[in-house]
């Protein structure tokens, strides 16, 4: 398998856990996006710089698969993988691993590149494209 | 198309909106689950009754597609549709419609039926199966 | 006691509950703000209309007291009370009651009126002042 | 002023920002609790160990004061200060500082020590008391 673009670790908190005693399923997408923002920061392409530019990268499609429950105060590492890039969209994969390397969940975010004013598709700028390979 | 199992309406709040000025993509799954819980309540199969029973229904897979941004203080109606049911899992679809009937997003949650103690698959109880058609 | 300005009801959800099995303490402020936004909507002074105007009403101070735990799938009614108003600030109180009328929690939000551009204090507009008594 | 018990840093994320373009006021309490949980972990008194013991430490009262808005992708350091301890309760203060040392917000959480089964007050165990000075 290709090597990951980035690794990001976090610890699950009291408020991440739901009434069933495990991380609420939808939290996975918050963690994934936190990893994505940290990845952008790492490459001096911060999310607030993007929001001030003439393009936006909204999520057009997303998925997650849950393989094992994630519990309170677990340290999880997300590995971000590049899946594919087209002229005006790209897809990232996220692997959620516990500290023994067990895969707890996977997620995917597909981002489209839109013009900030018109919200129509435009070509992905090189500043972003160059981060993905 | 088949008629929906249930309709649920909500209004987007200040804290649902992110720094890009639209509903944060992962919020869609919170809304979908709120609709699902309200659907269960409507049929006297509340989520806390399920948590006290000998089975659990965790989400094993989920997806969403975003067609148009959802803004602050929008009233959105979720229609829940039955997609399929197997012996020990079922899938629901969620359509997010604005007040003019425009489809803003869709989501899907696949739930597996597990034994509460062993977390191994078991047959979906009739109390849940009977809600889905 | 003075009569309430507004009543707002909600049901606690799976994701509102934390690993201790009760509503996470900080959720109380989300519910309070949801009640406040619904109150504004009820009087045609929606939060997005305010955000487009020349003033903002950020929270400058907030408090909450927790009297009894709030559990999963509880229906709670928030009663909003006016506490005081000054030239450029106002304070609201929120009472969280269960369906038997038991007071579960109270919260308070103090809002200051700032000029949108300069973020300096300005007099509360009559459109807001008139809602408070 | 007394030295802080603990320092915890975090970066604000896209989803922390609300429709007004700043961190939603109630998020401050999530950050404060994240800092508190990290402080407990640091002293091998993790939140999940506490949840398995015969006492709980729910928040009975909380407050926050907002001095300046916190923006997207800001790195904030929370300093936790001990305020006071009684036989069966304690209070912590949280200072939110930006990277230039400017105080953006303060928060306070008062925790009571309750018996896990009866939810009546009991003396704070030494394992917790010893962390506070």
Q: Is the ipTM of this complex over 0.90?
A: yes
Lowest mean pLDDT among A9-13, C17-21, C50-54, D10-14: C50-54
Q: What is the pLDDT of residues B68-98, one digit of tens each?
A: 999 999 999 999 999 999 999 999 999 999 9
Band of pLDDT at residue A79, cut at 50, 70 and 90: very high
Residue-by-residue DSSP string for chain B: -PPPSEEEEEE--GGGB-TTSSB-TTHHHHHHHHHHHHHHHHTT--HHHHHHSSEE--EEEEEEEE-S---TT-EEEEEEEEEEEETTEEEEEEEEE-TT--EEEEEEEEEE-EETTT--B-PPPHHHHTT--
pLDDT, mean of residues B55-79? 97
Q: What is the pLDDT of residues A28-73, one digit of tens each?
A: 999 999 999 999 999 999 888 899 999 999 999 999 999 999 999 9
For chain C, what percent of residues have pLDDT higher than 90? 89
**Partners of residue C33 in chain B, C-beta under 8 Å:** 13-15
Mutate to test the interface with B, among D19, D20, D28, D71 (most CBs of B within 10 A): D19
pLDDT, mean of residues D61-81? 98
Catalytic residue among C16, C18, C34, C87: C18
Band of pLDDT at residue C1, cut at 50, 70 and 90: low
Output the CA–CA distances (angstroms, integers) from residue D70 to D12, D16, D21, in the order listed: 8, 10, 9
Q: To the nearest whole number, what is the mean pLDDT of chain D?
A: 95
**Partners of residue B15 in chain D, C-beta under 8 Å:** 18, 24, 26-27
For chain D, what percent of residues have pLDDT higher than 90? 89
B74/C contact by beta carbon, under 8 A: no
Q: What is the pLDDT of residues B108-121, one digit of tens each?
A: 999 999 999 999 99
A24/C contact by beta carbon, under 8 A: yes
Band of pLDDT at residue B2, cut at 50, 70 and 90: confident
Which residues have CB under 8 Å from B118's CB, separation 6+?
none
Q: Is the pLDDT of residue D2 over 90?
A: no
Q: To the nearest whole number, what is the mean pLDDT of chain C?
A: 95
Q: Would you call C22 and D48 a contact, using CB atoms and an 8 Å cutoff?
A: no
Q: Would you call B26 and A30 a contact, using CB atoms and an 8 Å cutoff?
A: yes
Band of pLDDT at residue C2, cut at 50, 70 and 90: confident
Chain D: nearest CA to A111, how far in angstroms? 15
Residue-by-residue DSSP string for C52-63: HSSEE--EEEEE
* pTM of the predicted protein model: 0.96
Residues facing residue B21 across a β-bridge: none
Q: Would you call D19 and C48 a contact, using CB atoms and an 8 Å cutoff?
A: yes
Q: What is the pLDDT of residues D30-63, one digit of tens each?
A: 999 999 999 999 999 989 889 999 999 999 999 9
Q: What is the pLDDT of residues D106-133, one digit of tens each?
A: 999 999 999 999 999 999 999 999 999 7
Q: What is the pLDDT of residues A93-107, one digit of tens each?
A: 999 999 999 999 999
**Partners of residue C69 in chain D, C-beta under 8 Å:** 58, 119
Output the CA–CA distances (angstroms, integers) from residue B111 to A89, A107, B131, in the order listed: 30, 17, 14
**What six digits make up the tokens of D70?**
């916190």
**What six digits make up the tokens of D87?**
């036989």
E-state strands within chain C:
6-11, 55-56, 59-66, 75-86, 89-97, 103-112, 114-115
Q: Is the pLDDT of residue A133 over 90?
A: no
Q: Is the pLDDT of residue A92 over 90?
A: yes
pLDDT, mean of residues D16-25? 96
Catalytic: B18? yes
Q: What is the pLDDT of residues C64-102, one digit of tens each?
A: 999 999 999 999 999 999 999 999 999 999 999 999 999
Q: To the nearest whole number, what is the mean pLDDT of chain A?
A: 95
* CB B93 within 8 Å of CB B107: yes
Catalytic residues of A: 18
**Partners of residue A18 in chain C, C-beta under 8 Å:** 14-15, 17-18
Q: Note the helical H segments in chain B.
A: 27-42, 47-52, 126-129
Band of pLDDT at residue C29, cut at 50, 70 and 90: very high
**Partners of residue C11 in chain B, C-beta under 8 Å:** 37-38, 41
Burial class of residue D32, CB neighbours in 10 A (0-12, 13-18, 19+): buried
Q: Write down the pLDDT at residue D133.
A: 78
Nearest CA in chain C to B12: C34
Band of pLDDT at residue A1, cut at 50, 70 and 90: low
> For chain B, give me the number of helices (H) and strands (E)?
3, 7
Q: Would you call B48 and C72 a contact, using CB atoms and an 8 Å cutoff?
A: yes
């Amino acid at each position: 398998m290709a090597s990951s673009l980035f690794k990001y670790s976090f610890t699950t908190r009291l408020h991440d856990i739901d009434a069933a005693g495990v991380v609420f399923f939808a939290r996975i997408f918050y963690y994934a996006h936190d990893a994505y923002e940290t990845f952008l920061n790492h490459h001096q392409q911060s999310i607030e710089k993007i929001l001030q530019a003439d393009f936006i990268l909204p999520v057009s499609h997303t998925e997650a698969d849950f393989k094992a429950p994630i519990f309170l105060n677990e340290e999880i590492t997300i590995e971000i993988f590049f899946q594919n890039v087209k002229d005006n969209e790209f897809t990232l994969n996220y692997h959620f691993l516990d500290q023994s390397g067990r895969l707890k969940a996977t997620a995917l975010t597909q981002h489209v590149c839109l013009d900030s004013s018109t919200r129509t598709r435009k070509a992905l700028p090189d500043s972003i494209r160059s981060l993905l390979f």
